[in-house]
Amino acid sequence: MSLAYARNDWYVIADRNSLEQGPRRTRLLGDEIHVSGSYAHPVIKDASGRMLPTQIKFDHVWTTVGDRPRPLFDIPEGNEPGRRLVPCGMVRVKCSPLRAVENFLDIAHFPFVHTDVLGAEPYTEVEPYKVEIREQNDEVWATKVKFFQPLAAKSAAGGITTDYEYRVPAPTTAVLYKTCPPKPEAQDVITIFVQPRSETECDVWPWMALYDDDTPYADLVQFQQMIFLQDRSILENQRPIKLPLDPRMEIPTRSDLTSVAYRRWLKKRGAFYGALAETL
Amino acid sequence: MSAAFTLYDYVLSGNCYKIRLFASLLAMPYQSVAIDFYPGYEHRSERMLSLNPAGTLPVMVTSAGGQVLTETNAMLAWMALHDGGAQTPWFPAVDPALGPQVQQGLAFGAGLTDSIGLARLHAMLDWPVDGEAAKRAGLKHLRALELHLTDRQIDGGLWWAGAHPTIADLACFPYVALSPDAGLEHDGFPAIRRWLYAVRSLPGFATMPGIHPLHELR
Amino acid sequence: MTWRPVGLTRDVPAGRVMRAWVDGQDAVVWRSTRGVLSAWDNRCPHRGMALSHGFVRGEDLACLYHGWHYGAEGGVCSLIPSHPDLTPPDTIKTRAFQSAESDGVIWVRLEGSPDLAPIDLAPPAIAPGLDPLRSFEIRASEGDIAHGAAAKPFEPAILSLLFNPIAHDRTLVTVLIDAQATSDQRKLASRWCEDVRREVEA
């Protein structure tokens, strides 16, 4: 059953700022969760008062409601010296947690949804890239992904081709490794940790590990918030709400390799929470 | 050209966007300082509270005269007058007919912030307010705006008042445009949709997250 | 299936898009730059995005998410921007419904039944001498609204109401008014609409 599978993952439930605001209630996998305590000592309980296990990782508090949780993945870049770690709070979206992840993995929407920021017409072509399932940790990886962003000033010719790698270490987490040619040694890590409140609503917690000592902190957070809020109005308008896993229901193209692999990978794992699996 | 003002700004704020939008329409340069409203609650920091004890955003500090303004309607008025003086079509303050109508619109805009704005904060960022009550109030406001814009349409007018967009339109635009963020769709409001499109078509229009550009105009 | 009044012609000028509900079906109604009106299933077959958020380019409606273009004639995909040199297979298309306009009102019908009587081919005729006034939603059933409107007759001018039931407790009401009505009478009629809504929703 999809819920049984989903219960045995770890999910973000809070960050330092939200704990400082005091006790609150939230939802995880359809059930009410009580969040209180401090970042050093978070207190997470289910509706019956049972204490849930927690761990602090990637500047967030994680919990699980499963009795045999799979180990939480690692993002080793987060420990590299010189990186700025930037948690961005959360954004609530009325969409399937799986649709939120799939949107994060997609680049063909850049010219239309993140216009003049991540892409612009007429530079809409997506060149072939590589997708694989890395069996060692059973993760989806997309590599050799690139996208062209023309320069903002109309008078300036040329632009930047950014290199992207995407990684899905768990059904509701996506990690992006982004490299811009001017600074090839400064690969940015941008992630979303998706907390499924239900199959049709989620709290998305973005987190970044960057090599950038110059930009003010608030600007870094707000750039990420801007990108995500641009996606939110798309996410809340996709139908069916749940992610179809039957390949006949929605039509992919070659630029959708990552999404196709992600859907197949979910199906293989039995990770149906937030998915339409009736026709399978 | 040097900055006309400094704006203490938050990218997701509809109120801050009123100022960013007007600055873009006027091609008025300004200095922006990002304040970590969420998740950092920086607007409640000592530094920001000493600038604005009300703890709200945006805050505008004008370059000429160093005025500190904390009400967006006042900021819009300042910008209109700074740009075009007393004759500015954006703020016909002393016109006996249009002046009061613009004031109506500015006040109405404040009501939108307190209803739709709050409903949106609740829906998006889990702000601890009564989201359902704010949404109900927001719906009432949308209906009132639809009635007003339908009246205007009957008179052959496109804007809140008169033949030119004014700061009344700008005071109302962001939260109406963003109302779907709070689950208040624009279906069933054809006069509002017509007006939103007119604002989005203005030369120099700038977007914010949740308001997409009109790709058809590209 | 019945023709449903989904809005006014003037509310969907050339190049504009709107959402409509037709017998429980989420639909997109839009007009190309040359004036061709279309009504389709409000869903891009790529990733399920609502086409009512899309934009018109010439004779195509493009989806906001990835910019896939669909042509007014038949709703077939004509361009996939991530593969600009690809001719999209004509199996990629939206589902089209029937649309018609008369006297300033837009009507949409889902699949007509194969043995349609000739009288059903066109949308209902509207009484002559009326102008469209406005189109608005009331959170009540068609029956309750008709009842409420009858209880408060509008004196200054002749009104005609058309109903499109969106849900059992939600109706789109299209109001037409005597073409001779003055601006003031039209504004009064608009307020009458608000009064009826207030009464019926109470």
Is B125's CB within 8 Å of A218's CB?
no
- Nearest residue to C123 via CA among C140, C142, C100: C100
Closest approach of A40 to chain B, Cα-based (Å): 18
Is A253 within 8 Å of C83 when comparing Cβ atoms?
A: yes
For residue C173, count other CB atoms closer than 10 A to its CB.
Answer: 24
Q: Strands C4-8 and A201-210, how do they pair?
A: unpaired
Whether a cis peptide bond, with omega within 30° of 0, leads into C13 is: no
Q: Which residue of A has its CA nearest to C41?
A: A239
Closest CA to A100 of A196, A13, A164: A196
Residue C12: the pLDDT is 98
In a domain, A194, yes or no: yes
Minimum Cα–Cα distance from B195: chain C residue: C11
Task: Report how many domains make up chain B.
Answer: 2
Q: Which of B87, B114, B135 is the last residue of a domain?
A: B87
Residues B103 and B72 in one domain: no
A253 to C47: CB separation less than 8 angstroms, yes or no: no
Q: Phi and psi for B6 in degrees, rounded to 5? A: -105, 135
Nearest-angstrom CA–CA distance, B119 and B113: 9
- Whether A6 and A269 have beta carbons less than 8 Å apart is answered as no
Q: Are strands B31-34 and B5-9 parallel, antiparallel or unpaired?
A: parallel
Fold classification of C130-201 (topology level): Alpha-Beta Plaits (3.30.70)
Residue of B nearest to C53 (CA): B212
Q: CA dihedral in degrees (A135, A139, A145, A147; nearest 10)?
A: 170
Whose tokens are 């296990």? That residue is: A53
pLDDT at residue A242, rounded to an integer: 97
Residue pairs spanning A and B at CB distance below 8 A: 76
For chain C, give every domain's residue range: 4-111, 130-201
Q: Mark which of B87, B119, B154 sits at the end of a domain.
A: B87
Contact C46 A124 (CB under 8 A): no
Domain that holds residue A269: 80-276
| Nearest chain B residue (CA) to C52 | B187
Is A202:A187 a contact under the CB 8 Å cutoff? no
Residue A59 forms part of a structural domain: no
> What CA–CA distance (Å, rounded) separates A29 from C154?
53
**Binary contact (B215, A121; C-beta < 8 A):** yes
Query: Do B24 and B204 contact (CB within 8 A), yes or no?
Result: yes
Q: Record the pTM.
A: 0.96
Sheet holding B31-34, edge to edge: B31-34, B5-9, B59-62, B68-69
Domain C4-111 falls under CATH 2.40.50.100: no
Contact A234, A113 (CB under 8 A): yes
Q: What is the pLDDT of residue A28?
A: 98
Strand order, beta sheet including C77-79: C55-57, C60-62, C69-71, C77-79
Residue C146 belongs to what H/E stretch?
helix C142-151
Say whether residue A126 is in contact with chain C using an 8 A CB cutoff: yes
Query: pLDDT below 70 — which residues of chain A?
Result: 1, 152-157, 182, 278-280
Same fold? C4-111, C130-201: no
Are both B102 and B81 inside the same structural domain?
A: no
- Shortest alpha-carbon distance between residue C46 and chain A (Å): 5
> Residue C117: its pLDDT value, please?
54
Q: Is the pLDDT of residue C124 over 90?
A: no
Of A106, A237, A253, the CB nearest to C53: A237
- Supply the range of the domain harboring residue B169: 98-204
Confidence band of C119 (pLDDT split at 50, 70, 90): low
Structure tokens that stand for A187 in this block: 């690969």
Q: Does A233 touch chain C (CB under 8 A)?
A: yes
- Read off the CATH number of the domain in which A136 is found: 3.90.380.10
Residues of chain B with Cβ-Cβ distance to C191 below 8 Å are 147
Residues B115 and B21 in one domain: no
- Determine, for residues B187 and C18 on separate chains, whether the beta-carbon distance falls below 8 Å: yes
Rounded Cα distance between B152 and B132, Å, is 30
A192 forms beta bridges with A174, A206
Residue C6 has pLDDT above 60, yes or no: yes
DSSP H stretches of helix in chain A: 2-7, 16-20, 97-105, 110-113, 217-235, 257-269
Distance from chain centroid for Cα B72? 7
The nearest alpha carbon in chain A to B122 belongs to: A92
Into how many domains does chain A fold?
1
Do the domain assignments include residue B164? yes
Q: What would the mean pLDDT of C161-184 be, rounded to a whole number? A: 97
Same domain, B80 and B140: no
Q: Is B24 within a domain?
A: yes
Q: What pLDDT is attached to residue C75?
A: 95
CB contact under 8 A, A225 and B209: yes
Gap from B210 CA to chain A (nearest CA, Å): 5
Return the number of other C-beta atoms located less than 10 Å from residue C153's C-beta: 8
Residue B156 domain-assigned (yes or no)? yes
Residue type, B74: A
Closest listed residue to residue A106, CA positions, set A149, A151, A150, A142: A142
pLDDT given for residue B21 in this prediction: 98
State both tokens at C153: 């007759």
Q: Can you tell me the distance from the alpha carbon of A199 to that of A47, in angstroms, rounded to the nearest whole number?
A: 19
Output phi, psi for A97, to 5 deg.
Answer: -55, -30
pLDDT tens across the length of chain B (218 residues)? 799 999 999 999 999 999 999 999 999 999 999 999 999 999 999 999 999 999 999 999 999 999 999 999 999 999 999 999 999 999 999 999 999 999 999 999 999 999 999 999 999 999 999 999 999 999 999 999 999 999 999 999 999 999 999 999 999 999 999 999 999 999 999 999 999 999 999 999 999 999 999 999 98
Q: Are C64 and C48 in contact (CB under 8 A)?
A: no
Pull the structure tokens for residue A97: 């947690």
Mean pLDDT of all residues in chain C? Answer: 94
Q: Which of residues 230-249 of A touch B (CB under 8 A)?
A: 230, 232-233, 236
pLDDT of residue A156: 55
